[in-house]
Structure 1
Amino acid sequence: MSANISPDQSTSRVEFTHGLIWVVLSMVAFIGMSVGSRELAVSLSIRQVLFFRALVGLGIIVVLARKFLPELKQAKMIRLHIVRNVVHFTGQYFWTIGVVLLPLASVFALEFTMPIWVAFFAWLFLKEKLTRPRILATLGGFIGVLVIARPGVGMIDPSAGLVLLAAAFYALALICVKELTRECSPGVIVVWMILIQLPLGFIVALTDWHPVHLTDVPWMLLAGIGALSAHFCQAQALKRLDASVVIPIDFLRVPLAAIVGFYAYGEAIDLWVFLGGAIILLSNYQAVLKERRRYSLR
């Protein structure tokens, strides 16, 4: 059987496997970033959290600056870099509020409405077709959100609305990253992220500055290294896989976040979160299968 596999098919399978590995690494890094951000927000403002995350990232990329300098000087697609990072920075602000005020599993489950937005923005900006599987995935994703937020049970937490808004911003930023990988390396995409978001973070942090203590430094490092690693790994995955394949796999962050929240913060594991996350995941299943088949035929 394996003897009938062409070299191109073999290469595609290796790329697919490598892409999955990068997705798993990004999941771990995103959870580390969320824990560091939550701990920082105990004593610092959310605006400071965003600034110090980027500052730690700057310290890391300075070490690697020589490697990326030739490509940086070309400033390829610089306008798209700016748009991507302004949109992403705004989404980060809303998302971090959610991380501070909501259980981790709920934040990640609500964030996984992103495939809905990805399909919409891909249709709007990339002129991709809204096929029947994608429309069904959108409807199923909306039902999953209702299960998680449970609007019939009291008032919906406003923080949940901010996380949903953050998911839309993240989806738009992800579409930008997918376009950027056509001409820019994942490393340079991350470097531009730090260079653009650091001054943005500094400006907004000055409007709500709290005293910084030595005990904040370890959490700064965790949040900063986690953020940089997460976006680098995600860019590597998107370079190898379609966004519609990467994002649904990333749903595994929901149970992982629930476990971390249970052991680190004593958060109850809410079965409604898992049920809603499962509905969103299953609703994307057919669309993912279609995209995967298209990928394997390349």
Structure 2
Amino acid sequence: MKQKIKNMDRGILFMLLASLSFAFMGGFAKVVSDVLPPVEVTFFRNIFGVVLVGLSIYKVPLKQKGGKPLLLIFRGSIGFAALLAYFYIMAHIPLGEAVTYNKTSPIFVAIFAYLFLNEKLHKSALFAIVIGFVGIIMIAQPEGGSFDKYDILGIFSGIGAALAYTSIRELREYYDTRAIVMSFMGIGTLAPLFLMMVTPYINVSSEFDWMFSEFIMPQGIEWVYVSAVGITATISQILMTKAYEYTKAGIVGTISYSNIVFAVIIGIILGDPIPDFWTVLGIIFVISSGLMVALANKKT
């Protein structure tokens, strides 16, 4: 019994540290996004992971049956697009709001799992989804009944992440976890290179400036920031993995929402305005929605 409690405490500590590291990643990304385009920040965020996962695969070869190459490519592509949108909005809206949009993914996972994986959708989960959407509206505070570009991309970052997570549920039956991670980080490294290479030859409209941009060579302290984005992201993944090793997924998932609190604090330190009443209430609704979805899944 004491060992279980000790393991749970370790799991909670690892997840808190992972959430703090994720928030710092967002802070570094926000700072460097003032001078470097989001597509370039995305490249640097993923290149560190490619090296580490590549070394792991080199040392211990993959053991898998395969058979779902298109789904694997889809997982990597949609994950990359969601991350790109995430880094773009970080540069334009408060960090806490950007992270909250991304953390709407559990709401959409519940929907996609019902649509594509035939998983049950309890009444409590449906209620949670409604609460989540109300929270999104509170955060966005759409003027004239319409969302602006940053709100739409924020919601897309949550939807894209949810599609990636949903595809993993199917892919893990066919592929080594490292292959799934590499599909995301590999595409997240190659796609930005391609987009930066073609940008000088196309006329990019304002609707797609979040995707296309020319490469800008980092200068001085900017190298520290982009390196920090990749390093903190990698540290976060390691700590989160350790958290899942020590305690139940439901507890880890609950603690992961501390990421939003850390992000709000770091954002304010970096100059973000203090969230107003409706934004705070919206964040609470989104967090509550995610927790309710998790509880509903435990009943399945």
TM score, norm. by length of structure 1: 0.80
Letter in 1 for 2:33: A
Aligned partner of 1:49 in structure 2 is: 41
Q: Encode CA deviations 1:207-233: one digit per residue, 9 max, x unaligned.
A: 222233232211111111223344455
Q: Secondary structure at the match of 1:101?
A: coil
Aligned partner of 1:98 in structure 2 is: 89
The within-5 A match list for 1:125-144 is 125-144=116-135
Letter in 2 for 1:85: G
CA spacing shift, 1:182–1:238, aligned 2, 3 Å:
farther
Counterpart selection for 1:291 from 281, 285, 297 = 297
Aligned partners of 1:125 and 1:115: how far apart in 2?
A: 15
Task: Give me the CA root mean square deviation.
Answer: 3.3
Aligned partner of 1:279 in structure 2 is: 285
Aligned partners of 1:35 and 1:285: how far apart in 2?
A: 25
Whether 2:38 is the aligned partner of 1:29: answer: no
Identity of aligned residues (%): 23
CA spacing shift, 1:51–1:290, aligned 2, 3 Å:
closer
Letter in 1 for 2:193: F
Whether 2:216 is the aligned partner of 1:210: answer: yes
Query: More helix per residue: 1 or 2?
Result: 1
CA spacing shift, 1:248–1:158, aligned 2, 3 Å:
farther
The within-5 A match list for 1:69-80 is 70-71=61-62, 77-80=68-71
Aligned partners of 2:149 and 2:83: how far apart in 1?
A: 16
Give how far 1:107 is off: 0.9
Kindly indicate whether the alpha-carbon contact (under 8 Å) linking 2:257 and 2:287 is maintained by their aligned counterparts in 1.
yes
Kindly indicate whether the alpha-carbon contact (under 8 Å) linking 2:94 and 2:272 is maintained by their aligned counterparts in 1.
no
Q: Encode CA deviations 1:218-266: one digit per residue, 9 max, x unaligned.
A: 1111111223344455566678755x76555432222111111112335
The within-5 A match list for 1:147-166 is 147-151=138-142, 156-166=147-157
Q: Encode CA deviations 1:43-66: one digit per residue, 9 max, x unaligned.
A: 222111111222233344455453
Kindly indicate whether the alpha-carbon contact (under 8 Å) linking 2:85 and 2:154 is maintained by their aligned counterparts in 1.
yes
Q: Secondary structure at the match of 1:211?
A: coil
Kindly indicate whether the alpha-carbon contact (under 8 Å) linking 2:63 and 2:176 is maintained by their aligned counterparts in 1.
no
CA spacing shift, 1:184–1:205, aligned 2, 3 Å:
same
Question: For structure 2, which runs of at least 5 residues remain unmatched after alignment?
Answer: 200-213
Counterpart selection for 1:66 from 43, 55, 58 = 58
Kindly indicate whether the alpha-carbon contact (under 8 Å) linking 1:186 and 1:232 is maintained by their aligned counterparts in 2.
no
CA spacing shift, 1:143–1:108, aligned 2, 3 Å:
same
* More displaced stretch, 125-134 vs 22-31: 22-31
Kindly indicate whether the alpha-carbon contact (under 8 Å) linking 1:95 and 1:163 is maintained by their aligned counterparts in 2.
yes
Aligned partners of 2:224 and 2:28: how far apart in 1?
A: 8
Aligned partners of 2:195 and 2:218: how far apart in 1?
A: 16
Counterpart selection for 1:195 from 157, 162, 186 = 186
Q: Encode CA deviations 1:111-157: one digit per residue, 9 max, x unaligned.
A: 23222211111111211011101100011111111111122589744
Q: Secondary structure at the match of 1:194?
A: helix
Q: Secondary structure at the match of 2:217?
A: coil
Counterpart selection for 2:164 from 143, 167, 173 = 173
TM score, norm. by length of structure 2: 0.79
Counterpart selection for 2:226 from 220, 223, 247 = 220
Counterpart selection for 1:114 from 98, 105, 123 = 105
Question: For structure 1, which runs of at least 5 residues remain unmatched after alignment?
Answer: 4-9
Aligned partners of 2:186 and 2:101: how far apart in 1?
A: 29
Kindly indicate whether the alpha-carbon contact (under 8 Å) linking 1:54 and 1:201 is maintained by their aligned counterparts in 2.
no
Aligned partner of 1:262 in structure 2 is: 268
CA spacing shift, 1:181–1:27, aligned 2, 3 Å:
farther
The count of aligned residue pairs is 284
* More displaced stretch, 21-30 vs 215-224: 21-30
Aligned partners of 2:241 and 2:184: how far apart in 1?
A: 12
Aligned partner of 1:250 in structure 2 is: 256
Give how far 1:281 is off: 2.6
Aligned partners of 2:51 and 2:157: how far apart in 1?
A: 27
